[in-house]
Amino acid sequence: MKKAFLLILAVVLISCGSKKKHVEFDPKKSKNQVPQIDPNSLIQIVTRDSYKESVADLKHQAEKVKAYNDQKKAIRDELNKIRKETDQQIELISYLTELEGFQNALLLVLSEKTHAKHRASPKKRSTSYMKRNINNLTENL
């Protein structure tokens, strides 16, 4: 709003055709007297103010972009951390699954050996029992 007002004021003063190079104002002459301003200096003032406001706007935009970039970097870092943890958990789960498979294989082998031992044991008992009976019978005869 300020820029627009100053630009309009500059255009009005230029269109009036004032050729004076400085501001003329004598406070002793009249309280209602309007100072006359050089249009070129007014344009320079308006241009300088516009430049300052543009620089301030650009700085503000740069700060916003930097803040957004910092937020995006923080999010990216957090995602990478989560991915790393997830990968470690997946590796741990696969290792535990492998161990569980190895444990099941061992249990199967042990159970087969145990069953084989129990199956062999009654036969041994029966043969040894028979041998003892035969030995006892032969001794008695």
**Per-residue confidence of the chain (141 residues) as pLDDT tens digits?**
566 666 666 655 555 544 444 455 555 555 565 566 777 888 888 889 899 999 999 999 999 999 999 999 999 999 999 999 999 999 999 999 998 988 888 888 888 877 766 665 555 555 666 666 677 666 665
- Write out the two tokens for 49: 């103010």
* 3-state SS, residue 36: strand
Task: Report which of 48, 49, 38 is spatially closest to residue 10, judged by C-alpha positions.
Answer: 38
- What was the pLDDT predicted at 92? 92
**CB of 16 within 8 A of CB of 29?**
no
- Residue whose entry in the numeric block shows the structure tokens 């099941």: 104
Q: For position 76, what pLDDT does the model report?
A: 95
- Tell me, what's the pLDDT at 3? 63
Cα radius of gyration (the chain): 51
The pTM assigned to this predicted structure is 0.43
d(CA 77, CA 64): 20
Angle between helices 2-16 and 39-140 (to 10 degrees): 160
Coil vs helix vs strand at 24: strand
Residue 30: the pLDDT is 54
